[in-house]
Structure 1
Amino acid sequence: MADPYFFGYGSLVNLSTHDFPDPRPARLKGWRRAWRHTDLRPVAFLTAVPDAGSEIEGMIAHVPKNDWAALDEREWAYDRVPATQSISHPLKHEVEIAVYAVPHDKHNAPSNHHPLLLSYIDVVVQGYLRAFGEKGADRFFETTDGWDAPILNDRAEPRYPRHQQLKPTETEFVDDRLNRIAARIVQTA
């Protein structure tokens, strides 16, 4: 029987945000990330979207207690999509890997009413910096759509529930990359 793992491509790359067992760097072929919103949440969040010409880095981790139902409940806004054959990883034993993605017909572009949270971006980029270095964090920006959306600066009072304290160099990196892509930072939503 294959060991169950899932592929994380956003905040789950930041190992400070969870305690899922056996996290390992991995790559998912045929997908990109996109900032999207649904009617289920007041702010935009990351989802994976099919893209035959793209590949994204992330982390795989073991499904706790082999309990897909509990993980499905945690990721309730997403569908679990089988992805074993699309993921390259360092594991040598047989695994079953899924990726969580919002169904295409259930998400929309971010807006002023559904902005990106800077505290969420900080967490994700911090994870990529620590797992994949600056080049990996740059690849995160390059393989993620939706950067034209408004970004709510909530650093002083983070709204993202798993926010993390960034080192000054990490904050500088995030701010520099957002400046490079001409991101629109707003103070209120």
Structure 2
Amino acid sequence: MADPYFFGYGSLVNLATHDFPDPHPARLKGWRRAWRHTDLRPVAFLTAVPDPDCEIEGMIAHVPKNDWAALDEREWAYDRVPTTQSVTHPLTHDVEIAVYAVPRDRQNDPTNRHPLLLSYIDVVVQGYLRAFGEGGADRFFATTDGWDAPILNDRAEPRYPRHQQLKPTETHFVDDRLKRLSAPIVQTA
């Protein structure tokens, strides 16, 4: 029987946000990331969307004993989608890999009422910097749609439940890349 793994492309790349075993860098072909809002959450968040011309980097990790309950709870606004044949990874044993994606019919564009959280972006980019270096973090920005959406600067009081403390160089990297994208940052009220 194949071992179950997930492919993480957002906060799950940051190994400080979970303790799933056997993490490895991997690539998912035929998908890209997008910032989307859904009626299931008050703020926008990342989802994977099909794109036959794209490939994204991320992290796979093992789901022990095929017990998806904890991960399904964490990713409750997403559907778990089988993607085994689309993932390139270093493992040599038989695995089944799934990715979490917001159902297409529940996706909306982010708005001022439903912005991106800077604390969430920080966590994701920190993960990419640590796993893939600056080049990988730059590829994260390039293969993610929706940088024109409002970004709420919640760093002083993070709203993202798995926020992490960034090193000054990591904060500078995030701020620099968002500035290059002319991403609209709004201050907390």
Q: Is 1:173 paired with 2:168?
A: no
Structure 1: distance between partners of 2:102 and 2:167: 31
Structure 1 runs, 4 residues or longer, greater than 3 Å off: none
Q: Look up the SS of the partner of 2:147 in the other structure.
A: coil
Size of the aligned set, in residue pairs, is 189
- How far has the Cα of 1:42 moved from its partner? 0.5
Q: Kindly provide the CA deviation profile for residues 106-161 of structure 1, in whole angstroms up to 9, marking residues without a partner as x.
A: 11010001000000000000000000000000000000000000000000000000
Q: Which amino acid aligns with 1:117?
A: L
Structure 1: distance between partners of 2:172 and 2:50: 31
- How far has the Cα of 1:169 moved from its partner? 0.3
Q: Look up the SS of the partner of 2:27 in the other structure.
A: strand
Structure 1: distance between partners of 2:102 and 2:93: 29
- How far has the Cα of 1:76 moved from its partner? 1.2
Structure 2: distance between partners of 1:178 and 1:131: 20
Q: Look up the SS of the partner of 2:158 in the other structure.
A: coil
Q: Look up the SS of the partner of 1:156 in the other structure.
A: coil
Q: Is 1:26 paired with 2:26?
A: yes
TM-score (norm 2): 0.98
Mind listing any 5+ residue stretches in structure 1 that lack a counterpart?
none
Matches within 5 A, 1:30-45: 30-45=30-45
- How far has the Cα of 1:66 moved from its partner? 1.5
What value does the CA root-mean-square deviation take over the aligned residues?
0.9
Percent identical among aligned pairs is 88
Partner in structure 2 of residue 68 of structure 1 = 68
Mind listing any 5+ residue stretches in structure 2 that lack a counterpart?
none
Structure 1: distance between partners of 2:84 and 2:150: 34
Structure 2: distance between partners of 1:163 and 1:141: 19
Structure 1: distance between partners of 2:147 and 2:120: 13
Partner in structure 2 of residue 109 of structure 1 = 109
Matches within 5 A, 1:150-165: 150-165=150-165
Partner in structure 2 of residue 87 of structure 1 = 87
Q: Look up the SS of the partner of 1:130 in the other structure.
A: helix
Q: Look up the SS of the partner of 2:132 in the other structure.
A: helix
Partner in structure 2 of residue 7 of structure 1 = 7
Q: Kindly provide the CA deviation profile for residues 9-32 of structure 1, in whole angstroms up to 9, marking residues without a partner as x.
A: 000000111101111000000000
TM-score (norm 1): 0.98
Q: Look up the SS of the partner of 1:112 in the other structure.
A: coil
- How far has the Cα of 1:72 moved from its partner? 2.2
- How far has the Cα of 1:75 moved from its partner? 1.5
